[in-house]
Amino acid sequence: MAKSKDHMAHNQSYKAYKNNIKKPTCGCQTSTKGVLNKAHDDARSRAQNSLSESNNLKALVTSDSKGSFISI
């Protein structure tokens, strides 16, 4: 039985991927997780900078006696 054209096309595509000629198509878009992590870090740093030094919660976190800035 002869191989189908679809199978041969898949084989060629796999060989190109294997030889690093063609990059894989998955993962080419910016990951949502990375974008959300950056947004979270930006929001956390802005919240940290907006609190005054006399804020009791910020004083606790800064002194490392309880929690971290993620808690704020």
> Is residue 4 scored above 60 in pLDDT?
no
Q: Give the DSSP H/E element, type plus range, for residue 48.
A: helix 32-50
> Is residue 72 scored above 60 in pLDDT?
no
Q: Give the DSSP H/E element, type plus range, for residue 56.
A: helix 56-62
Dig out the tokens for 49 from the structure.
């900078």
Q: Where are the domains of the chain?
A: 30-72
> Is residue 34 scored above 80 in pLDDT?
yes
| pTM recorded for the entire structure | 0.42
